Structures are given as structure tokens and as C-alpha cells.
Amino acid sequence: MGIAEDYLKSAHGKALGTGGPTCVTCHGSHSVTAATLDIINENRCGMCHSYERAAAIKDAMTRTEAMIAGIDAKIRLLKGEGVDTDSREKSLFALRNTFRRLFHEIDTTHVEQESGRIRTELSAIDQSLAQYDQAKQQRKFIGALVVGALLLAALFSHLLKKTWN
């Protein structure tokens, strides 16, 4: 099932043909607006009904979208460092798609619950990424200790050499 089917199953889609919003109502006709959370706003939603419910939906989705963006940035950073992030990328991709399916949902409770469930799964991904950061910090610390020990050994060796000459 895709976005169009999600729309048709929503209250907005069910009202299609009886004055309900069409794709053009929200996305425009000449300069099509991408499906971002900015599309949920008082001007657009308030044309037909109170913005209150839409604001609650947008709030729940904004928190989720922020987590997705943060985790995506961490994955790209780790991938750039040569870390195998494939499984986490796939998990994030699936969660992002599930999240995008909420864009046509107008049941506040469902959106808040589903956003919460997605955030829980995102937290698990984030925690697994944090383990890479912890391991990297440990390697840096151990590396610093080794370099320090080698410098001390070199200094000790230099001092021994001076005392024997």
C-alpha cells in the first residue's frame, strides 16, 4: 500500500468528492509542495477546520522527524569513518517510510501512538550507534596511553643513555 492508498483511507480521502481536500488542496498544483511537516500549518488546515488537532499531530511528528534526522546524520558520519552501518541504515529507512505513512493520518491518538512506537525503535538504533562512539572514545584513550607510555620510554631511554656516556 502506498501514499495514495493511505490518503484514500483517511478521513480526508473519504471526504473526497463531497468537498474534502484533494491532493492540490495541500500540495498545490503548479509548484507541488513536498510532503514535509511544513505542509501542516494553520493557514492550510484552518481553511476547513480547527488547527488544534493538526497542531497535535504536527507536534508528535516533529519530535519523530528530529530523531530521524539526528540518527541519519550519525549514520552518515560513522559510514564516512568506515563503520559498517548497513543494518542500521535499513532499519532507519523502514522507520522513515512508516513515519511518512502518517502524513495523511488525522487520528491524533493513532499518530501519537505510532510516533511514540517509532521513536522507541529509533532510540534503540541511536543506542547502538552510541556504542560505536563509546568504542571510538576507548580507542582514543588507549591510543593516548600508548603514545604517552612510548614517550616516557623514549625519555627514560634517553636519560639512561646520557648517564652511561
The gap between the terminal CA atoms of the chain, to the nearest Å, is 83
Instruction: Using alpha carbons, list the distances in angstroms from residue 150 to 125, 145, 164.
Output: 38, 9, 21
pLDDT tens digits, one per residue of 84-93: 899 999 999 9
pLDDT bucket at 34, cuts 50 / 70 / 90: low
pTM recorded for the entire structure = 0.71
> Is a pLDDT exceeding 90 seen at residue 136?
no
Q: Give the other-Cβ count within 10 Å of 100's Cβ.
A: 15
Q: What is the largest CA-CA distance in the chain?
A: 101
Cα–Cα distance between 53 and 40 in angstroms, integer? 11
Cα–Cα distance between 46 and 146 in angstroms, integer? 64
> Is a pLDDT exceeding 70 seen at residue 126?
yes
> Is a pLDDT exceeding 90 seen at residue 23?
no
pLDDT bucket at 68, cuts 50 / 70 / 90: very high
pLDDT bucket at 43, cuts 50 / 70 / 90: confident
Q: Which amino acid is at 56?
A: A
Cα–Cα distance between 165 and 154 in angstroms, integer? 17
Residue for cell digits 483511507?
Answer: 9
pLDDT bucket at 33, cuts 50 / 70 / 90: low
Most confident listed range (7-11, 47-51, 73-77, 153-157): 73-77
Read off the pLDDT of each residue in 113-140 and give the average, rounded to a whole number.
88
Could you tell me the three cell numbers for 138? 576507548
